[in-house]
Amino acid sequence: MVVQWGILGCAGIARKFCASVSRIDNAVIAAVASRTAGKADDFIAENCPGSKAYASYEELLADASIEAVYIPVPTSVKTELVLKVAAAKKHVLVEKPLASAADVKLMIDACKAAGVQFMDNTMFLHNARQDSIKSVLSDGGMFGDLRHVDSTFSIDCANDEAWAADNIRMKRSLEPLGCLGDLGWYNVRLTLWAFQYSLPTSVSCTYVEHTEEMVPTHLMAQMRFGNKTGSFMCSFKSAFRNSAEFVGSKAVLSLEDFVVTGKLDAASYKVTQTTFGAKDETFPLVTLKDEELKTGVQHAKLVETFSGLVASGKVDETWPEQTYQTQLVLDAMVKSAEQGGMWISLQ
């Protein structure tokens, strides 16, 4: 079965979705809707030739042939739109972040009531590398117990004046969470994933730089899971980077490209162990594992998995639950930042 997808809006990020659909067999982009006449036509010509163009979201939602919808619109208008899509009984793949945990609850309840799948578009979770990493993290002999997850996700775009002035990520009315929503979302998700979606006991976040409207542009955040920890930096003003490190009690697993891979269909990671040299004059680094896996394209895998769920008629509740937890953490981080970095309890 080939799932018929619709796209609501022609945001730049939707190009990636089209590229992914073009790589798989169980999905097709049947229609694209834009509120601006002509924009959908241009988008289709460039990204998914043959799709139908609709001049409004409502027309696309009224098309009974569309089974699943991808929503790449700004965060401030996502909630309303997701609720409309669910009401139309279409499955929902939505861009991150979301407006608030309360809004996520509304959305996932609506999707549940409608019997449709809800998933956020966090690609890396669908990369086969995650399974391989998980096998290391649970290898007590080599890795020990996971103690700390550190990650960095930053882009230097806001150092460009034109970007800083115009990009939606800098505007409270469109993307109120700034770099926390756009980048920190992934840092949080990776950390939750590593600790098997146990909610952190408490979190802390400090906005080091922000716009006049308090949209964060450079921040540091921390998470506690009892006596285990996570930390990250995310920024619109630091060099582009998406690295992560899992520190066990015995070894360290690190990767350079945890959000989007450096190669299209392969992904790598390293497991290392530092050792004491003679008279502690040196700390030699030993590589225990240096993996490069043939993984396929992670985003294509996401759409394929989602389409497979649609085709199966079964809803997987773990995906909306993960979205909800991620947003709960982000909301607590915003609260912490508003209180000068105070630790905010989540349990």
Per CB under 8 A, residues contacting a second copy are 13, 15-16, 19, 144, 147-148, 150, 152, 154, 156, 159, 204, 206, 208-209, 218, 220, 222, 224, 227-229, 231, 233, 235, 237-243, 245, 247-252, 256-257, 259-264, 272-277, 279-285, 297, 299, 340-343
Please give the full DSSP string across 110-125, using - where no structure is assigned: HHHHHT--EEE--GGG
Name the minimum Å distance from CB 186 to a second copy: 12
The residue among 144 and 308 lying less far from a second copy, judged by its C-beta, is: 144
Instruction: Rounding to the nearest 10 degrees, give the CA dihedral for residues 108, 111, 115, 120.
Output: -70
> Within a 10 A sphere around the Cβ of 254, how many other Cβ atoms?
15
Name the minimum Å distance from CB 227 to a second copy: 5
Name the minimum Å distance from CB 300 to a second copy: 9
Whether omega for the bond prior to residue 97 falls within 30 degrees of 0, making it cis, is: yes
| Contact predicate 9/72, CB 8 Å | yes
The residue among 89 and 250 lying less far from a second copy, judged by its C-beta, is: 250
The residue among 104 and 146 lying less far from a second copy, judged by its C-beta, is: 146
Q: Give the amino acid at 36.
A: T
Distance CA 123, CA 30 (A): 22
Distance CA 177, CA 326 (A): 13
Name the minimum Å distance from CB 241 to a second copy: 5
The residue among 28 and 288 lying less far from a second copy, judged by its C-beta, is: 288
> Within a 10 A sphere around the Cβ of 220, how many other Cβ atoms?
16
- What ranges make up the beta strands (E) of the chain? 3-8, 27-33, 52-54, 68-71, 91-94, 118-120, 146-154, 202-210, 216-225, 228-235, 241-248, 252-255, 266-274, 285-294, 344-345
The residue among 132 and 231 lying less far from a second copy, judged by its C-beta, is: 231
Tokens 């926390």, located at residue = 180
The residue among 159 and 196 lying less far from a second copy, judged by its C-beta, is: 159
SS3 assignment, position 145 = coil
Q: Which two tokens stand for residue 307?
A: 């389409």
The residue among 141 and 313 lying less far from a second copy, judged by its C-beta, is: 141
Name the minimum Å distance from CB 113 to a second copy: 34
Name the minimum Å distance from CB 46 to a second copy: 10
Name the minimum Å distance from CB 147 to a second copy: 4
Tokens 């609720």, located at residue = 83
The residue among 132 and 206 lying less far from a second copy, judged by its C-beta, is: 206
Distance CA 243, CA 255 (A): 6
Distance CA 135, CA 137 (A): 6
Name the minimum Å distance from CB 289 to a second copy: 14
Tokens 């006049």, located at residue = 212
Name the minimum Å distance from CB 204 to a second copy: 6
The residue among 197 and 276 lying less far from a second copy, judged by its C-beta, is: 276
